[in-house]
Amino acid sequence: MQAKEKNMLSDSALELDSARRLLEVIQGMLSQGLASLKASCTVEDKLDSELLDDYQFSSYQIAFSVAEIAAAKSFLHYCKESTENSYESAFALLFACDTLDNVMGRLKKIALDVGIELESLTTLENSAEYRNVLKHNRPSIISALGSLIINKKVDRLRSGLDDEKELVRDTFYRFSDEIVAPLAEKIHREDLDIPEQIIEAASELGCFGTCIPEKFGGLQPDNKSDSLGMIVVTEELSRGSLGAAGSLITRPEIAARALLAGGTESQQQFWLPKLASGKTLCAISITEPNTGSDVAAVSLKATPAEGGWILNGSKTWCTFAGRSELIVTLARTNPDISLGHKGLSMFLIEKPAFSGHKFEHHQVQGGKLSGKSIATLGYRGMHSFDLFFEDFFVSNEHLVGGNAGLGRGFYYTMAGFSGGRIQTAARATGLMQAAFEKAMSYSQERKVFEKSLGEFQLTQMKLARMLSTITACRQFSYAVADLLDRGKGQMEASLVKLFSCRAAEWLTREAMQIHGGMGYAEESAVSRYFVDARVLSIFEGAEEVLALKVVARELIETA
């Protein structure tokens, strides 16, 4: 290691504590703003939703600020195990500097609205500690980090995983390279179904059982949760293709969590082994045309009938509905709309597997379930469907939880989605890793004005920020996985999803930009990454709903 490089890394390590302190100071300001919002929007000791809606912009900015600070703190915490001259410290400090800069910018926009004095922000920015830390955000230092990438001294920071999880990561890394990647472009361009070649190979590796206990044939220990294993697998599958592999285990994971939360013993014994083995593929049907992310407003009608229920109505954005043999569906079993989410129950819908973009399933009783795929920019392979239930019969045995599950569907859905959000963050990280690898390789090979793209300062700075962002997202998701396995982390799962999905949009754009005209061509993988990334901030909780109705609201309530 050259002396200049060694000094830069040592200096970065020395400033990490200062970065931590500054983040804590800004977090204190955010807490002050949350307390002010709570006071402004509370009526008779209860948060008033209509008043809170008058502060949507401020709530949105605070939600993202809290998410980004949490990501930076996770990155800095991970660096505690680094050696003095490690690359991790330099990239962590870069991310912390960008976070300080970004959050301060947001706070300036909303300071007057949320009771934060602009003078306090100015004082912090002018402090010696703040200025000293921000020196490490200079173009010369960032480009020096990018030069390390271009010169192949660093392309992926250490994971911090133990040997067992590292072996899992390596196994699925090779699976993505050897099985998924060679098929990904054709699937995307021709909007094909995911080929059985990928599904069967994934089944053999056990990836459908990552969140299912061993006693049901899954990979998760019976006596504890292992969210980290699921994240590691999801990330590597998504690196191969978001649509053709990265989301394969999302639906069985949501279904399994819902069944474990509320399914009867016989339902668990019957369905979980089928899901774990991949012999039964499943879809999740929650969203409706007029409800979007408002789960409590679901209106698919379930009417009692002899031996079961009759379903009538429509659903939308049911991903993988055609190929799946099981659709986990939320329906309204109590017609009293005033009950809101308390009138919802969850059903297990069986159907044959269908290929292509539309299907019709006719029951002997006369009911029908039909589906038609929705044309999308990206995320192709799984296909998302509009569904139509016409007098469709579901037996009592397929009501999750049996009679005890009546009115509990919303809670089972939330149990499933808690893992879905962190898994979506892992999908974002895998997609970013793929885009970064392509951008790094292209910038090393492509010659412009008699120099490689990677020799230019701007390219180096892009690559450095890309790597710092990927690592922050990865370590944040690892930290949240640990919290979830200890029965905590519901808020953090929303934060990591919020931050990582937005980051994926930015990073895939940068990768596309580095490719120039070739990035816009469909023959380039980065064009696929770019359109695939766009869906991440929409599903598993649309960005605005997640920021306002979940993150900001809870932060304000607990301020």
Domain residue spans of the chain: 3-137, 163-277, 282-408, 428-541
Q: Among positive and negative, which fits the CA dihedral 395, 400, 406, 410?
A: negative
By the 10 Å C-beta count (0-12 exposed, 13-18 middle, 19+ buried), 521 is classed as exposed
Q: For position 155, what pLDDT does the model report?
A: 85
Q: For position 336, what pLDDT does the model report?
A: 85
**Percent of the chain whose predicted confidence (pLDDT) is above 70:** 96
- pLDDT higher than 90, residue 11: no
| Domain boundaries 3-137, corresponding CATH code | 1.20.140.10
pLDDT in tens, 413-430: 888 877 778 999 999 999
- pLDDT higher than 90, residue 81: no
Q: For position 6, what pLDDT does the model report?
A: 63
Amino acid at 552: A
| Domain boundaries 428-541, corresponding CATH code | 1.20.140.10
Mean model confidence pLDDT for the chain: 92
Count CB-CB contacts under 10 A for residue 6: 12
Q: For position 9, what pLDDT does the model report?
A: 64
Active-site positions? 540
What angle is formed at CA 287 by the lines to CA 284 and CA 292, rounded to 5 degrees? 150
pTM: 0.92
Q: For position 86, what pLDDT does the model report?
A: 76
Same fold, 3-137 and 428-541: yes
pLDDT in tens, 281-292: 999 999 888 776
Q: Where are the beta strands (DSSP E) in 482-532?
A: none
pLDDT in tens, 143-161: 999 999 998 888 889 999 9
Q: For position 7, what pLDDT does the model report?
A: 65
Q: What is the mean pLDDT of residues 241-258?
A: 90
Give, in order, the Cα–Cα distances in Å from 94 to each of 141, 368, 506. Answer: 9, 56, 17
Q: If pLDDT is split at 50, 70 and 90, which confidence band does 3 have? A: low
Dump the DSSP string for 118-161.
HHHHHHHHTSHHHHHHHGGGSHHHHHHHHHHHHTTS-SS-----
- From 260, 257, 231, select the one nearest 429 (Cα to Cα): 231
- pLDDT higher than 90, residue 449: no
Most distant pair of Cα atoms in the chain: their distance: 80
- pLDDT higher than 70, residue 8: no
Q: If pLDDT is split at 50, 70 and 90, which confidence band does 539 have? A: confident
| 282-408: CATH, from 1.10.10.10, 3.30.420.240, 2.40.110.10, 3.40.190.10 | 2.40.110.10
Topology, domain 163-277: Butyryl-Coa Dehydrogenase, subunit A; domain 1 (1.10.540)
Distance CA 249, CA 242 (A): 11
